[in-house]
Structure 1
Amino acid sequence: MFRKVLYGLKILLILGVALFGWGQYQRVTLVNSTPPPGQMVDMIDYQLHLDCKGEGPVTVLLEAGSNEFSLTWDKVFLELSKQTQVCRYDRAGLGWSKASPIPRMASSMADEFQDLLKQAKILPPYIFVGHSYGGYIGQWFAYRYPESLAALLLIDSAHVDQFIRIPSAQAELDGLVDQFTTLQRVSRMGLMAMRPATIPERGFSGETLRQYRGVLASRNHFLAAMEENKLVRESLEEGVQVLNHIDVPVVVITRGRADGLDDEEFASWQLMQRNLLTVSVRSKQVIARQSGHYIQMDQPELVIQEIKLLLQQ
C-alpha cells in the first residue's frame, strides 16, 4: 500500500519538476524574444530602460502611472517624436528596468528620473507628462527641478487627498497589493510564460501587445508594482505640505467618464482635479469626455494636441 503511495508521490514530483522546468524555459525564451525597444542605462548598481525618439529643442518626458511601464504611451509616443524629442522609460523594477534599492517613494522616483536623464545626457528644457501616479511624480519633479521644466501636463493625476476624499481607495490599493503578490508567484513559476495569451490585451495590439504580454510573463514587473503600491499612501501624504506651488504652465487633463467610480466618488475626483489647477497661476483644465482613467489610450489625439500646444509656447 505504502509503495503505491510513494510511487504516486514520485510521479507527482517528477511532473512538478518537469512543469517548473518547462515554465522557466518559456520565461527565458520570452526574455530573449522581447528585448527592450530603447537603451538600458547604467545607474549606480542597476539599470533603467529609457526609450527616446525624435529631435527638437524641448524634450517631452512620459511618466506612466502606478503598475504601468513605457508601453502605456505607445499611442502617443511615435506621433510626438515627429514633433520633437520624446522619452519614455520604466521605473525601477517595472517593465524592462532592473530593481533599485531606493525606496519607491514618489519624491525618490522623481530624483531617480532626473539622475537617469543626466546619465543619458538628455538635456532640458523638458515638458513633463505624467499619468495618474506618474502625474504625482511629475509634481515632485517640478518642485525639485523647476529650472529644467518648460511645462507640466497632468493626465487624470493622483492627488494628495485622494485617500481622504475617496475612502474606498485604500481597500482598492490593498486588493492590488494582494493581487500583485499572487501574480508575481505565478509569473516566477513560469505559468504565465507558458500561456501569455491569457494576459488581458489592455487596448494593445500587434507587436506592442506581444511585448506587453512578454514582459509581464517573463520579468519581475509584479514584484516592483507590489512594492510601489505599498508606499503610495505614505508617498501622497509626504507631498501635502510641499506641492502647493509650481512655477511653470500646468495643463490638467481629466477623465469625462466615471470608469468604476460611483457618483459621489466621481464628484470627489473631479473636485480634486480642479484643485490641481491651484498649483500654478498659469494653468488650465481639459475634460476628456470620451475617456476613462487611461486618457492616453482612450483619446491619444487629445493628449498629443495639448502637448503640441505646449511646444508652441
Structure 2
Amino acid sequence: MNKGIHKENIRYLSISGNRMEALLIGNNGIPIVILTGLGCSFYEWNKIIGPLSETNRIIMFHRPGLGESELHTNIRNTEMVVNEVVELLDVLEIEEKIILIGHSYGGLCVQHFVNLYPHKVAGIILVDSTSVDLKELDDLELPILDEKGSDEYWLEIYHSFSLLVESELKKKINPIITENQKKFPNEIQMKIIDFQIKPSLYKAIYLEMCSWKIDALKIKTLNSFPNVPLIVIARDKDYNIKLGVLDGLPEGELQILEEKWNQLIRDQVNLNSKSELILATNSSHFVYLDRPDVIIVAIKKVIERI
C-alpha cells in the first residue's frame, strides 16, 4: 500500500454533539495535531502525512462545515476550534503532550490553543501563520489589490457561494486540481474536488473570517505562550511577488504586501526563547504543497529538541 491517506484512516467522531470528519493515521511516537488553513482540506497534506505516520501518530480534522463535518451554528471562531481540539484529544484518550502545527488560519488557532493550554503542548510549528497583528495588513495602501483582495470583497463572495446548492456551486467555481495536487493519487484528487463544491465550506469560511480579527485581539491579551521548541516557517516573498506579477498584479503593491506579511511572520519568532525561523524558498502561502520537505524537516527538528 502506498504511503499516505486511505479511507481506513478516516473516522467520524461526535464532537460538541456534531459529526466531525477526522484523519487518524500512525500509532507510535509523539502525537502530532495539524490544523489546516481557512477552507483547506487535510487531504492536501498527503505528502507530509505519509512519511510522518511511520514514526508518529497524526491527527487532523475538518472543522465544522468543511468536508463531511457538520456545521450547526452561525458563529465560528478560534476559541471554538480550541475547544474542539481539547474534546478531540479527550475522545481519542490522548493525555500526553502533543506537537501542534498550524497553517495560516490554523496557525492563529494554534496560538490561541497554546496560550490556554500550555501544559498540553510539547512543540509548536507555525506554517506561514496568520498573525495576531493581521489588522496591520488593512493599513497598507494597496488600492488595486484591495479591489478584489479585501476581507469585505471575499466575505461577499463566500456568503454568495454559501447560498447556492451543490450543482450550482460546481458550475460557478468549476473546481480544478493544481499542478501540485495532480501529483496526488486519483482518489485524493477527487476528494479535493468534492471538498470544494460544498456550500457549507463557504459558510464556514465566511463565519471564520467574520471573527478572525476579534479573535486575534483576544489572543494578544493572553500571556501564557509555552517556552517549548517553536519553529516558524515563512513563505518566499520574492517568489510570491513573481507569481503575482505573472497574474497581472502590480509589483509595487505586491512588494508592500509581502514585506509586511514577512515582518508579521518574523515577529512570531519572538513568541518564546526556543524559536527558529525557516524560510521555505520557492514556496507560496501553501507551503505544504510547494515545499512539504521543509515541513517534514521542521517536525523532525522539533522532535529532536523535545
TM-score by length of 2: 0.83
Determine the C-alpha separation between the residues in 1 that align with 2:99 and 2:115: 14
Q: Which residue of 2 aligns with 1:60?
A: 32
Q: Which residue of 1 aligns with 2:203?
A: 223
Q: Which residue of 1 aligns with 2:275?
A: 283
Q: Which residue of 2 aligns with 1:184?
A: 162
- Tell me which amino acid in the other structure corresponds to 1:273: I
1:212 paired with 2:192, answer yes
Q: Which residue of 2 aligns with 1:94?
A: 66
Determine the C-alpha separation between the residues in 2 that align with 1:287 and 1:45: 40
**Residues 151, 102 of structure 1: alpha-carbon distance in 2 compared, 3 angstrom cutoff:** farther
Q: Contact 2:9 / 2:25 at 8 angstroms: preserved in 1? A: no
Q: Which residue of 2 aligns with 1:297?
A: 289
Q: Contact 2:111 / 2:219 at 8 angstroms: preserved in 1? A: no
Q: Which residue of 2 aligns with 1:132?
A: 104
Gaps of 5+ in 2: 1-5, 245-252
Aligned residue for 2:60, secondary structure, equals: strand
- Tell me which amino acid in the other structure corresponds to 1:210: M
User: Which protein is bigger by CA-based radius of gyration?
Assistant: 1
Give the number of equivalent residue pairs.
278
Pick aligned residue for 1:76 from 48, 61, 80: 48
Q: Contact 1:146 / 1:248 at 8 angstroms: preserved in 2? A: no
Q: Contact 1:153 / 1:251 at 8 angstroms: preserved in 2? A: yes
Determine the C-alpha separation between the residues in 1 that align with 2:14 and 2:115: 25
Alpha-carbon distance, 1:245 to partner? 3.4
Pick aligned residue for 2:176 from 190, 196, 200: 200
Pick aligned residue for 2:113 from 141, 159, 174: 141
Determine the C-alpha separation between the residues in 2 that align with 1:96 and 1:36: 15
**Residues 218, 265 of structure 1: alpha-carbon distance in 2 compared, 3 angstrom cutoff:** closer
- Tell me which amino acid in the other structure corresponds to 1:139: Q
Aligned residue for 1:239, secondary structure, equals: helix
**Residues 110, 288 of structure 1: alpha-carbon distance in 2 compared, 3 angstrom cutoff:** same
Q: Contact 1:250 / 1:283 at 8 angstroms: preserved in 2? A: yes
Larger displacement relative to structure 2 (260-269 or 72-81): 260-269
1:112 paired with 2:90, answer no
Determine the C-alpha separation between the residues in 2 that align with 1:191 and 1:146: 44
* Percent identity of equivalent pairs: 19
1:161 paired with 2:133, answer yes
CA deviation string 1:63-102 (max 9, x = no partner): 0011223223222111110121111111111122111438
**Residues 218, 277 of structure 1: alpha-carbon distance in 2 compared, 3 angstrom cutoff:** closer
Alpha-carbon distance, 1:196 to partner? 9.8
**Residues 305, 275 of structure 1: alpha-carbon distance in 2 compared, 3 angstrom cutoff:** same
TM-score by length of 1: 0.81
- Tell me which amino acid in the other structure corresponds to 1:70: F
Larger displacement relative to structure 2 (140-149 or 167-176): 167-176
Alpha-carbon distance, 1:191 to partner? 2.5
Q: Which residue of 2 aligns with 1:269?
A: 261
1:312 paired with 2:304, answer yes
Q: Contact 1:130 / 1:154 at 8 angstroms: preserved in 2? A: yes
**Residues 70, 189 of structure 1: alpha-carbon distance in 2 compared, 3 angstrom cutoff:** closer
Runs (4+) of structure 1 moved beyond 6 Å? none
**Residues 197, 232 of structure 1: alpha-carbon distance in 2 compared, 3 angstrom cutoff:** closer
Aligned residue for 1:245, secondary structure, equals: coil
Q: CA RMSD in A?
A: 2.5
